[in-house]
Amino acid sequence: MGSSVRMKARELDKVIEIMRAGPDVDDGYTTHPGDLAVWKTVAAKLRPAPGQERLQSAQTAADAPMVFRIRWQSALDPNAPTGLNPKDKVRYPKGEAGRMFDIASVIEIGRRDAIEIAATVRIDAEPAA
């Protein structure tokens, strides 16, 4: 008796972009990772996770963790060798103005029902002058 985690369309009310680095670039001296580009654009359900704030060298720094839940897709299957993984990034909201989230973990929810992405974005705030 398994429980299903089926997602309703109305829950997927945000759009995120999954970013992946292109092929490595060899400039003749060294090899550099390729530029990030949009790999997939998907509908998602967002859930903020508790954040952490700390004082660092007279600056306040904060990590803003977020959990993104998306529908399972074979191309994004975290259990596949080419699936979604912590080397990828999430941009939310989509587009150039979106923040780039570092992926901490990717897990499959249920039996190919959903994929949960735990990610964080670094927010640095300069003290007011």
Assigned domain for 78 exists = yes
Range of the domain at 113: 11-21+32-125
Q: Per-residue pLDDT for 75 more than 50?
A: yes
pLDDT per position as a tens digit, 62-73? 778 899 999 999
Tally of structural domains, the chain: 1
Assigned domain for 26 exists = no
Assigned domain for 6 exists = no
Give the highest mean pLDDT range of 13-22, 45-54, 116-125.
13-22
Share of the chain above pLDDT 90, in %: 51
Q: Are 105 and 91 in contact (CB under 8 A)?
A: no
Read off the pLDDT band of 126 (50, 70, 90): very low
- Give the contacts of 90 (CB within 8 A, at least 6 positions apart): 16, 17, 18, 19, 68, 100, 101, 103, 117, 119
Q: Per-residue pLDDT for 6 more than 80?
A: no
Domain at 66, CATH number: 2.40.10
Assigned domain for 109 exists = yes
Q: Are 98 and 89 in contact (CB under 8 A)?
A: no
Return the higher-pLDDT residue of 61 and 23.
23
Return the higher-pLDDT residue of 49 and 71.
71
Assigned domain for 60 exists = yes
pLDDT score, position 74: 94
Assigned domain for 95 exists = yes
Share of the chain above pLDDT 70, in %: 81
Q: What torsion do the CA atoms of 27, 28, 32, 34 make, to the nearest 10 degrees?
A: 50
